[in-house]
Each structure stands twice: as C-alpha cells, then as structure tokens.
Structure 1
Amino acid sequence: MKKFRINIAVKAVLATLVLSSCAKDLLEETPRGTFTSAYFETEEGVLGGITFMYANLRNIYGNGYWLNATETGTDEYTYGHGADGNYKDMDLSGVGQLTPASSRSDVLWNNAFKSINTSNGVLEKGGQFNISNSLLAEARFFRGFMYFNLVQTFGGVPLDLGSGELAFNNSTIRASKRNTVSEVYTKAIFPDLIKAIEDLPAAPRVTGGVTKTLARLYLAKAYLTYGWWLQNPNNIPTYPETSRTDPNGQNAQWYFQNAYNIALEGINSPGSYALQPTYYDVNVGSNDRHSEMMLYADHTENSEYFDGSSASYNTGSSPGNFAMWMTTWDYTFLESSSDAAWTGAKVRTVQRESAQAYGRPWKCMAPPIEVVKNTFADKVNDSRYDGTFVTTFRSNWNKAGITTNTLYGANGLPVQVGSAILSFLDDEPATTIDYSNSLYKSNVGAGVIPGRADFVISPNGINRYAYLNLWKIGYYRSSYTGLGQPNGGNPRPFPIAKFSELYFVAAEAAVKGATGASSARDLINVIRARAGKWRWNNNGNIAKVEDNSAVMKAATPAVITIDYILAERSREYFGEGYRWFDLVRTQKWGELAKSYTIGGTALTDHTPKVYNRTIPNYLYLRPIPQGQMDAMELSPSELAAYQNPGY
C-alpha cells in the first residue's frame, strides 16, 4: 500500500466522546483503528474525531525528544553527559550537525497532520448530524493550532493533503506542495481561530476542553508572530520564498495592535480561568489542572488504558509523558557514610522516588551556568527559581528499607532522613569549595565547605554531569509515596497553554507599538507581582509566607524592551518548550544563544568553559523530516525544492 503524502494515517488510540455539560467530566477514550472517510459518516465517528485531537496532544507534548527540539540549543538548555546525537545535533556547538534525519522536530510533523486531517473530516461531515457549532469549533481550534505550530517550525506547509485545500484526504498520492507562510496564516490559522472564538463556549465543556479564551490566546500569538514575520527585522529568509506582504492588505503594525486587543479581551473576559496565587501553585503536582492551565496533554495515574502507556515501564516513546527524564541528572549515586570518619560502608541516600524532585534520570539536557547566574539572578524576592528547579537533594533512604536513623555526610557531620545531602548553591560562596577533598569524598564530584553536612556545588561548578533538575514538570503521584516503579512515564498532564501568557503576548505587542489601556510594564508587573508571592520554600522544604510583590514591581524597568520580555518569559516558562519559538519569533536566537558556559562531562570537571554556537539564518526553520522526504515520489529537483534551504 502506498504511503500518504503527509503522515496523516492515525494509528494511535482513537476515541469516542461522552457528551456532557458538566466541566468536571473527562473525555473517555475507546481504542479504534484508522480514520477513513467512512468513519465520519456517523455521529459517533465525528465525535470520536474530536476526542482524538485531544488524545493526540500526548504524542507531542510530554515527548522528551520534542522538548529537546524546543529547548536544546537555546539559552535555556545544552546537552548533558548522557546525551546522544539527538541532543548534540540540536545544540549547534560543534559536536554534531542538525540534519533532516537527526532533527527531532519530526515529532511535530509526524503528529500534527493527523490532527489536521481529522479536523478536516470532522468539519466536512459534522454538519450532517445534530452536532453543535461549539463542538465543531473545537476541531477548528485544533486545526488552527496545529498549523500555527507547523508554520513556526518549518515555514510554509501544505494546506492540500491530497484532496484539496483544507479537505479530508484519503488519497495515497505520494506528492506534495508546500503553501507559503502567508497563505498558511491567512487561509487556515486566522480563519479557524476567529471562527473558534465565535463558536466556542466561555467555560470548557469538559475538564481541559478548549474555550473562547484559549482560542483568543492562540489568535493573539498568531497575530503577534505573523507581525514579526512581516516586519522581518534581521532579514531571516522564509520558505517557500514569497514576499513579506500580507494577502489581506494589512501591515505588521495592524497585526501587533490586534494581538494586543485580542489578548486584552482574553484577560478581561477570562471565563473560568484565573492566575494562581503563587508560582509554586502553578507547578506543584498536587494542584494540576488548575484555573491557569488552559490546555494540556492529559495523563492520569489511575488508568494505563487512558494514557496508552504503561505506568511501570516506558522505553521513551509517546503517548507516555517522559519529557522530565531528559532534564534529570543521575542523583541516585549520592552517598553518605555509615560512620563519621568515612571509613565504613557507603549508603545511597537519595533514592528514585515518586516525587517531583526525584524522577528517572536520562541525563540528556543540562542548563548552562548563565541560567542560574543571570536568568534567575534574583533568588530572594522572585519565587520562580525555587519553583522551577531542584537545588536541594534530600535523603529518603528509609523508603529503601534502610532502618538506620543517622548517617554521615560532608565533614563527617550527621544527616537524617530529610536532610540535605547535596545542595546547588544560589551564589558563589565566600569560602572556597573543596572539590578534591580526599577524606569526605563525594562520588558525584560535589565539594565540601567547612561546617556543612551537605556536599555543595556552586553556580560556577555546574557541569554536564551534575546540574539542577527541572522540578516544575517532575514526577508526581498522589496515590503512592514509596519508591514505586520508577521507569514509568509521568502521570501528570503536560502543560501546553497557560492563562498567564495573555499578559506576555499583550506586553510584547505593546513593545512593538500597540496601544491601549495597559502598558507593557503594567502587564509584565501583574506576572512579576505574582512571582514575588511565596507560600512555600520548595528547596528549603519549609513554609515561607512572604509578599515581595512591591519589590518585584519596583524593580521592573520603566522602559520594557523585547530582551526584557524574553528574559521574563524564560523565568516564567523555563523548560516547558517555549524557548526556541520565542527566540525564532523575535529573531533573537542567534544573539541570545550564541554562547554559553558549563563544566565538562566528567563528574570532577568544575572548570567553566565557554562554548560557542553557530546559528546561521537558515536554521531559523527546521528541516522537513527525512521520513517525509523518503515517502514522496518526486524527482530529485522537486525533492530539493521541497526541503528547506541549507539542509
């Protein structure tokens, strides 16, 4: 059987929809085979197609290789000591080369068109049945959403999958033609999202369902991104080649203004959404699916059937949520001694636990030193550093059945269950760290400071071997507190869109010249004020009730720049898959990610080294995946013309 020209055959878990007006109900999924046009000839088939689009989010978001594609090579992440070519190629620092075969943006390409073609089928056939416009609007949202992700990543992509533009395709034709960026925006993304806003409800139909406010966020983001594309301040090439003119006759400023207006509509008419009171509340696993989470790839600890993935073992594949593995170093080697002189038996004191700080370590992605020293420079007033990373690794040896009450850490000082075994320091200490101590020898290369029972690593000592874990997307189970089966995927929903981003979109549009009731500083200060509010010191493992919002707002510059917006976005959404898109949209990637500092891969290498990246303009578009190129029956010249230049 011939392959589709675009990978649109659905071979994942498909679904039927349990209709309900109660927003507390979840989508119920039933395994099916492959969508064909006949599948949409029934009401059940149309409804199943809608639910599939939610399920298909799990094949992209929470996938560790997609997180790699959106983070590695930016100023947020480089490769860790366990990284293979997937990460080194994306880093662009001379240890690999990004190619159509190695780019992990294939995760998006291979799954987005499945949702797009399903949406085409739903919208073509849904009118035959007594299906509300609001339900059909969910399909419109997902089609616009997926095209928006594709056009940002690859440039222009096909609107015709084989049976006409935005039509459901059953064809096995193995040819393809890419539309231009402006065509994808003006024919698909904008019309779909505008119609979705018109027809979607203000409150979600089911838990995690799409709404007017969510569609407003993505229309505002699309307008903002397209405005940048029209303006093209750094002469980044587009492909397929086309003039930077809008078919609708509008200029970049029109799009910036409308991005601002629509984002403000979302803020002022939030429906059921609201900011959480603290940044800790946004990310703590016990509070998942809260009012700030607008869209997520859902998971549950209660049903492998729902997840489509084993809760006890995952080899690193979707739809399981394994993204947090990539950002986790192997802390499980941390040891303490059975005696104060450190001459007796050693005990591994930090076990892999079903807790946010202690997930499965794949050691693939490490934050550079600049993240700790520059991005999160304020660790006293701003709660986001503490609410983003694991900086303190605490003992939990009792959960491994070890009954000893006291062991001994650095300097031969006693430690108990819950004591800090290793701490990444906030700043460089006044006392020199002894990384080569021969008596109290850390087996992960950490150092010793007199008087402290915990081994330490300072910001300048961060290397590719040992670094801060990404706590915010870490593992969490409510029903089990033991060591469990640590090789399963994360049963938490993976965040895709948050209500807070409306403030950032409006602020960025204001920096680009949009005007209205709120300035860029006003909007950013809403987020910064929240960042100054603490209720829990995560790494101190102690209550901390402080309100530093006034200090945070006062420290905000009077004039907000794009660089400041980007810095704030990094503090707010660090490690969640936003960064590459942010740097590409604003054409700041080559400037902000051109170099970084980190120690080497050896556990004893605490000498910071500067690494330089080579980011030519063609890299602002990812390559069309090699699997797609191989699947098409085109002449060599046609294939060359289909691929993005430079690859």
Structure 2
Amino acid sequence: MRKIKLKSISIAIVLIALMLGSCSDEILVEEPRGVFTPDFFTTELGVQGGLTYLYQSTRSIYGFAYFLNLGETGTDEYAAAQSADNNFHDLDLAGQGNLSSTSGFSIGRVWGTSFPAINTASGIIENAEAVNLDNSLIAEAKFFRAFYYFLLVQTYGGVPLDLGGGELKFNNSVVRTSVRNTVPEVYTKAIFPDLEDAVNDLPDNPRLTGTVTKNVARLFLAKAYLTYGWWLENPNSIPTYPEASRTDPDGNSPSYYFQGAYDVAMDGINNPGPYRLLDCFYDVHVATNDRHEEMLFYSDRTEESQIYNEADLGWSGTDGGGPNTAVWMVTPNYTTITVDGVSAVQREAAQSYGRPWTRMAPTINVFTETFAEKDLDSRYDATFVSSYRGNWDKGGDTTPTITAANGMEIAPGDAVISFLDDYDPSVNYVNGGNLGGGEIAGRSDYVINLNEINRRFYPGLWKLGTYRTDNAGGLGSPNGALTRPFPIAKFSELYLVAAEAAVKGASGSMSARDLVNVIRARAGKWCYDNGENEPRVEDNSAAMVAATPAVVDIDFILAERSREYFGEGYRWYDLVRTQKWTEYASSYEIGGNSASDHSPTVTNRTIQPYHYLRPIPRSQIDDMDMSQAEKDAYQNPGYQ
C-alpha cells in the first residue's frame, strides 16, 4: 500500500466557505473555520466548504513571494539581482548557491500545498453521492485534484497517488510512509481521467465569479496531453524519476497525445463560452480591468477585507500562505532616484511602482532578442515599466519643478529615468538620478540603453504591478500585499498550445502559423502607450502577421510564449517540457550590482539533466518513518 505521512496531506485550513448560489454574478462567501474533520465531508455544507478551500489553496502558490523565483529564476527570462539571497542564487545555478532539498522557501511550496488540496478533493469526490452533490460540483473537485497532480508531476516527477487510504482515496489517518508512482501512472490514473470528467461535467459558464468551467478544464487537459507527449518523446534523453520506461501504459504514441492536445485546445477555441481574446494586450494587464473575459482562471485577492485577502492591507512580509507579493521580487529599487536634491520617484501603491525588493533581474537577451520588436508589437510596452515618472508631489513635496537631465526642468508626472527602446550610442552616462542614468541632447529625462542594464536597476514588471483604489491622491499603501488576482490561465493559451501541438505533428483546421498569428495580430493593436503615458490607437496587425515565418518551429512558439506570458511563472515549465532549458539558459548577459555599471558581462550556468526535476523538500522526507536507504531512494537523484 502506498502511504504518505499526514504532515504532507494535512487537511487543516485557515478559511473555508459556503459556496451557495448558481449565477456567475455571485462570489465565494468565506467563513473562518480551523480544520476539516472526516465527518465534515458527509454534509452538504462540508462539501461546499471543501470546494471553496480548493480555490483558496491556490493563494499559497500563485502570487506567493517566491513563486516567480521557482518558475523564472535560472531561465532565459530572469537571473539573480543585486539584493538576491540564496533563495535566488540556488535556483539561478550560476555558482553562488547550491540547489538542494533545503533550498529556501520555493522548493517545498508546491509539494506542501498540493497534497492537502488533493486529499480534500478526494474527500469531496468520495462523499458526493452521500450528500447528493451535483455532477458539476464533483467535476470542480476532480479538476483541482488533476490540476495539483499536473503541477506536481511537472515539478518533481512521479509522486504518490496513495496518501494513506488507497490510490486516489481520501485519507484521514496518520501515516508516515510513502511510495512514489511513476510519471505515466500519475498521468493516466489521475490527471487524464479527472480532467476528462471535468470537461464533460463542468458548465460552460462559471456558477460563481471565478469558478472553473469546461474551457478551464479543456486548457489544462490540452496542456497535460502536450506535456505528456513531450515526456514520452524525450528528445534530449532527460532522465525521469522514479525510473520508468518512456512508454504509455495504454500503448499510445507521443503523436496520439499531441493530436489530443490540438483537438482539445481547438474545441476550446471554437466553443469559447464567456471567454474571448481582449482587443489589446494592454487591456489584459491594466489593473483597472482585472477579472476580464480573457482570464480563464486566477487566484483571487481583495481590497475589501484583510481576512479574505489573507494579507495585511497596509504592510505585509513574505510569510504566510496567501499574500500576493511575487512582483516585489522583480521590482528594482527605484526609490533611490534623487534629482536636484529631491526624492523624485517615491514608493507608491500604483502599477508602475510598488514595493522594491530587487531579488530578480531580467537578462539583457529579453530586450535584445525576445522583445526585439518594440514598435509594432505592443507586448514589450504592456509588460515592463520602461519609464519611471516623478511623484514627489504625492509624497507631500510641493516643489513645482526640479532640474533634471541637460539642466532641463521636469514636473510631477514627467519621466525621470527611461529605458530606450532602441540602442543609442550617444548616451553619456552621468549617474543621473543616482541610478546610473545618462543624458541625450534635448531630453529632460535620464536614459539607459537596454543592452547596458545591470542587476541593480532595470525595467520592472508592470503587468503584475500593484493596484489600489484607496490612495486618495497620495502614495497610498505600497507596502501592503497586492490585492489583485494573480493570473493562472488565459484564453490566449489555447491558441499557443494548439500551435505547439501542430508543430509536433498534429493536424486540423488551423496550422501552427494560423494559430500563432491570431495572437500576433492582437499584439499589433495598440490602445495605450505605457512608456509615453498617453493613448496610442494604432493597428500593426498586418505587419505582425507578415513578419511571422512561413514555417513556425518550436523555437518560435517558445519566443511567442515568452512575449505573451513573460514573468508570470511559466518559463521554467515551458523550457523543461520542451527540453530546451539547457540550450536557452546556460548563459546570460547583464551588468553588475552597481547602478552605474553599464558594461555587461556573460554569466554561465551549470544546468545538469537532473535539474529538470526539482528536489523534494528535505523536511518531508526526514519526517517519514522509513530507513535511511528508503529515504535516499525517495529523493530525486542528484540532490542532497
């Protein structure tokens, strides 16, 4: 019997909720409760509360302070920044840290969050008949069980299906042993059956605001088929664990799963339900438009209640289960910008600012390669903070203007330091703004070339930035955790999953180029210019489509995925799935830790095949009642 200790599947929770009502205008109504007991699931109230816990559990991962560290550091998107500690150096694999089973706060979060949720979902599913639960509600529980198993198998490899009560059974006993299932077993016994049932039984429209639907399940089923097809193919001979033959138990080939991914994704595209692509990429991420029709699935927060936000609204650290603080880690310390003796850019609870921790920095190739096209394609502008603007007036300083670059005057709202879209060799770095800024004749703002950024000062991640409605014309509460929903899945990904499957040989009504061009055409539509802080109505769709290569390959798909989902935690999983991590991220270029360092150097990473799986957290293994040899065998090879 496969068992796992209770610590890994504890069903204790902070919040559960009544989930009553049947229309999408209603929301989850949460009520405090300390713990689930086994008999709780035998009541309708208990099952409903368990379902709400499954939604609440996503906050422990999505938006968690070190979430982006887990999915981004060490890739071609992000490297350790000036204020990085070993939480970040370990995952950067650049020689300053040592990735192990005890590495910081990131490694164990997926493991520690997923198993309680899986066990809760199993409890709901087993007791559904006793409380006469509707099939659509059972499908929600099945979706979450598959969702977490899919996250686990991508992160750690094969994981246990038996948590102490039997495979995929609810466990309510204390057990301290465990056996890991293989990757094919996790997919074919847990992920695929549950997601297939979810697609069949979930409604087209969410029963409450933010609940899952057929199309949410379709996207994750398509991604699971796609990922498993790559795993079976194993183009670069990356090892798996527990060791297993790269054959499907049902005898299906990789092409079978690639075609399945294509078909399911196309079904989602052709039957969108309440979802759609928004007209402009900017609208997908501007905070005033959160919870829109393109957002399939998100981990919600709220400004209305500190309890249900699971984070202090005025100040938050990085501890606890629910705070949305991930974007802090990729925000440079712009608050040291001083001009003419004035603290020109102050910490503000607004999307371009927020709380700066400077732990992760984008690499130079992000700007010179991934986002090389910045004029036709709106995605660079709607992803990054390319201009830091003066806000000293909101901090109480009544100075009307200050003297900035080239002796020119700037007022509140004007650009203080900007990153140039195109390289300009005439930039004269004068340490302007006390953050390494340079001057160009005729400009009042200090400037920095994007191919000369460093680990201290670089474009922040605007798309996930802070947003509050209670600033009252001032700086607000920039030290409070974000109250925005954290995106987990978007309608746009159905197109890119189908396109990737087509690249892998799947066929249907749209080619990979056709599918990618839907996304690229939208990227060409501008409705606002972030860098210039002004409306910009412009349609470059035709040029964007024309620039797409005649033959779209996996490298082009990965580039499009980076442009579309940059900095959202996708990248490590994308590069691991396609086995491109080593090729893409074995080196990167960036300047040093000084703001005035504009002479980038190349940093090399050591990415070993065993790094394609994360280590299982040591604390979990140490508490198991097994021999040392059994514990050693439980851990993924290569890790201590």
Matches within 5 A, 1:268-307: 268-307=270-309
Matches within 5 A, 1:309-388: 309-317=311-319, 318-337=321-340, 346-388=341-383
Matches within 5 A, 1:174-573: 174-317=176-319, 318-337=321-340, 346-431=341-426, 433-436=427-430, 441-480=432-471, 481-573=473-565
1:526-545 C-alpha deviation (Å, 9 max, x unpaired): 00000000010011101100
Q: What's the offset of the Cα at 1:139? A: 0.3
Gaps of 5+ in 1: 338-345
Partners of 1:277 and 1:533 within 8 A in 2: yes
Aligned counterpart, 1:340: none
- AA partner of residue 286 (structure 1): T
CA distance in 2, matches of 1:18, 1:102: 37
- AA partner of residue 444 (structure 2): A
Aligned counterpart, 1:22: 23
CA distance in 1, matches of 2:163, 2:621: 15
- AA partner of residue 322 (structure 2): P
Aligned counterpart, 2:602: 610
Q: When the two structures are superposed, what TM-score results if normalisation uses the length of structure 1?
A: 0.97
Gaps of 5+ in 2: none
Partners of 1:9 and 1:35 within 8 A in 2: no
Partners of 1:280 and 1:534 within 8 A in 2: yes
SS across alignment from 1:7: helix
Aligned length: 634
Aligned counterpart, 2:174: 172
Q: 2:150 aligns with which of 148, 151, 170?
A: 148
CA distance in 2, matches of 1:120, 1:140: 8
Partners of 1:460 and 1:607 within 8 A in 2: no
Q: When the two structures are superposed, what TM-score results if normalisation uses the length of structure 2?
A: 0.98
SS across alignment from 1:127: coil
Partners of 1:137 and 1:195 within 8 A in 2: yes
1:48-106 C-alpha deviation (Å, 9 max, x unpaired): 00000000110100012121010000000001101100001100111111000006131
CA distance in 2, matches of 1:177, 1:34: 27
Partners of 2:622 and 2:631 within 8 A in 1: no
Partners of 2:4 and 2:179 within 8 A in 1: no
Aligned counterpart, 1:72: 73
Partners of 1:80 and 1:465 within 8 A in 2: yes
SS across alignment from 1:366: strand
Q: What's the offset of the Cα at 1:455? A: 1.1
Q: What's the offset of the Cα at 1:450? A: 2.5
CA distance in 1, matches of 2:11, 2:454: 42
Aligned counterpart, 1:341: none
CA distance in 2, matches of 1:139, 1:228: 27
Aligned counterpart, 1:32: 33
SS across alignment from 1:501: helix
Partners of 2:65 and 2:323 within 8 A in 1: no
Q: What's the offset of the Cα at 1:5? A: 4.5
Partners of 1:175 and 1:632 within 8 A in 2: yes
Q: What's the offset of the Cα at 1:3? A: 9.5
Q: What's the offset of the Cα at 1:6? A: 5.1
Q: What's the offset of the Cα at 1:485? A: 2.1
Pair 1:643 & 2:638 matched? no
CA distance in 1, matches of 2:327, 2:72: 12
- AA partner of residue 44 (structure 1): L
1:285-318 C-alpha deviation (Å, 9 max, x unpaired): 0000000001100011111121121111111123
- AA partner of residue 441 (structure 2): P
**CA RMSD, 1 decimal:** 1.2
- AA partner of residue 330 (structure 2): T
1:420-454 C-alpha deviation (Å, 9 max, x unpaired): 000011121141x22246xxx53112222232211
- AA partner of residue 409 (structure 2): P
SS across alignment from 1:128: coil
Partners of 1:384 and 1:571 within 8 A in 2: yes
Q: What's the offset of the Cα at 1:354? A: 1.7
Q: 2:580 aligns with which of 580, 585, 588?
A: 588
SS across alignment from 1:30: strand
Aligned counterpart, 2:42: 41
Aligned counterpart, 1:343: none
- AA partner of residue 434 (structure 1): N
CA distance in 2, matches of 1:12, 1:310: 18
In terms of mean alpha carbon deviation, does 174-183 or 25-34 score higher? 25-34
Partners of 1:407 and 1:414 within 8 A in 2: yes
SS across alignment from 2:429: coil
Identical-residue share of aligned pairs (%) = 58
SS across alignment from 2:203: coil
- AA partner of residue 333 (structure 1): T
